[in-house]
Amino acid sequence: MPYEMKESPETILLSVSASGREELFREAVTGVLAATYGTPLPEGASEGRIVPVQAAGDDDSSLLEGLLEEALRAIREEEGTLRPPRWLAFDVNRVTVNLPLQTPKAVSRPLGVASAEVEFGDGEWRARLELFSTGTAG
């Protein structure tokens, strides 16, 4: 598993590592889905629907933080369960990810992003994510 999750009563810490930028963002989103829905991720039928999620920012840390905030918003608002990304694209100061949507809607924990830090060094991309509870389960 390219991410590691540690939970405390106040926060969830996700550490993600990858060989490339796209893989790092993909695994970070997958880790946040696991933190929200639980592991293993819920099973269900997909009707081919997707939910596009976008973020803009000046650096990779702000891009990832915005992307995760938008993914968490989509989890709360969509009438189904979001699945790990199949498609991800970068543009100048923008990232877009398509999340498959399946039915039925799974129970999820309402989470927010406290921080997201992205680093690149020694040929490896790393992210440290801190999530917090925003209320009662949905």
Does a structural domain hold residue 138? no
Please state at what angle helix 60-77 crosses helix 21-37, rounded to 10 degrees. 30
* CB proximity list for 7: less than 8 A, separation 6 or greater: 13
Does a structural domain hold residue 40? yes
For residue 78, the domain's CATH number is 3.55.10.10
Does a structural domain hold residue 67? yes
Structural domain total, the chain: 1
Does a structural domain hold residue 121? yes
Read off the pLDDT of each residue in 80-99 and give the average, rounded to a whole number: 94
pTM, entire model = 0.93
Residues spanned by the domain of 82: 3-133
* CB proximity list for 15: less than 8 A, separation 6 or greater: 3, 4, 6, 126, 127, 128, 129
Does a structural domain hold residue 129? yes
| Per-residue pLDDT at 95 exceeds 60 | yes
**Using one digit for the tens of pLDDT, what is the confidence trace for 5-27?**
999 988 999 999 999 999 999 99
Order of strands, edge to edge, in the sheet holding 124-133? 3-7, 11-18, 124-133, 111-121
| pLDDT of 93 | 95
3-state secondary structure of 104: coil
Q: How confident is the model at residue 1 (pLDDT cuts 50, 70, 90)?
A: low
